[in-house]
């Protein structure tokens, strides 16, 4: 890779030859609340906190477009981004509307922990059901999952770069536990 100007760590044309103009290197932080979704072609870094909820991140690294949802339950009515069965198709539609190409979409799945003892009883825990809903929705949409950090007993703090698809996850210690 050819080095760019002294103030930039790379030359835009070498990394993204299809883009004209400058690429903004600094990331704008965006917090995503539960039950919401966010998609953009801007240099945004989306952050959310997950327990049994799941976040699906979808991106087209070539077009530098991506998005994230944060759903609470696997299914429900009315159609809402609070429910995985609706949140994933809604997110995909938003990312495609911003110029992504379906054939280049990739996904990452995060969350689905069993953080509360009350949800660890009989049957499949809520977090696992949420993860299964995400996987099924992405399979139906024909979008490959290229990464995930799911399940377990601890919540997570997630940061996702919409333009590159890079994700950073940090476990949130539960009651009586130290730093991971």
Please tell me whether the peptide bond between 78 and the residue prior to it is cis, using omega within 30 degrees of 0: yes
Query: Rounded distance, CA 12 to CA 5, Å?
Result: 10
Look up residue 142 and give its two tokens: 């024909």
Q: 111 in a domain, yes or no?
A: yes
Residue 121 has a pLDDT of 62
Are the C-beta atoms of 65 and 59 separated by less than 8 Å? yes
Residue 124 has a pLDDT of 87
pLDDT tens digits, the chain, 180 residues: what are they? 333 333 433 333 334 444 444 444 577 899 999 999 999 999 999 999 999 999 999 999 999 999 999 999 999 999 999 999 999 999 999 999 999 999 999 999 999 998 876 555 677 899 999 999 999 999 999 999 999 999 999 999 999 999 899 999 999 986 545 444
Q: 19 in a domain, yes or no?
A: no
Query: Rounded distance, CA 128 to CA 125, Å?
Result: 5
Residue 115 has a pLDDT of 83
Residue 158 has a pLDDT of 98
Residue 14 has a pLDDT of 37
CB-based contacts of 63: which residues, under 8 Å, 6+ apart?
A: 41, 98, 99, 100, 101, 104
Q: 112 in a domain, yes or no?
A: yes
Q: In terms of DSSP bridges, do strands 44-50 and 28-31 run parallel, antiparallel, or are they unpaired?
A: parallel
At 118, which CATH number?
3.30.1330.200
* pTM higher than the cut 0.75: yes
Ramachandran class of 76: left when φ > 0, alpha when ψ lies in -120 to 50, beta otherwise: left
Q: 152 in a domain, yes or no?
A: yes
Q: 2 in a domain, yes or no?
A: no
Q: 127 in a domain, yes or no?
A: yes
Q: 11 in a domain, yes or no?
A: no
Q: 1 in a domain, yes or no?
A: no
Residue 128 has a pLDDT of 95
Query: Rounded distance, CA 113 to CA 66, Å?
Result: 24
- Give the range of the structural domain holding residue 82, as residue numbers without chain letter: 26-164
Q: Into how many domains does the chain fold?
A: 1
Residue 173 has a pLDDT of 83
């Amino acid at each position: 890779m050819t080095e760019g100007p002294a103030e930039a760590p790379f030359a835009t044309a070498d990394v993204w030859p299809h883009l004209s103009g400058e690429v903004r290197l600094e990331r704008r932080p965006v917090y995503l609340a539960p039950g919401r979704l966010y998609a953009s072609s801007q240099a945004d870094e989306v952050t959310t906190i997950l327990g049994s909820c799941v976040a699906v991140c979808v991106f087209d690294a070539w077009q530098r477009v991506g998005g994230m949802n944060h759903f609470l339950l696997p299914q429900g009515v009315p159609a809402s981004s609070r429910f995985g069965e609706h949140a994933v198709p809604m997110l995909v539609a938003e990312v495609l509307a911003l110029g992504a190409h379906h054939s280049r979409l990739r996904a990452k799945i995060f969350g689905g922990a069993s953080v509360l003892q009350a949800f660890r009883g009989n049957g499949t825990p809520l977090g696992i059901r949420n993860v299964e809903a995400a996987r099924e929705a992405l399979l139906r949409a024909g979008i490959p999952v290229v990464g995930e950090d799911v399940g377990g007993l601890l919540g997570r703090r997630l940061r996702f770069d919409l333009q590159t698809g890079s994700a950073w996850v940090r476990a949130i210690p539960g009651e009586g536990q130290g730093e991971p």
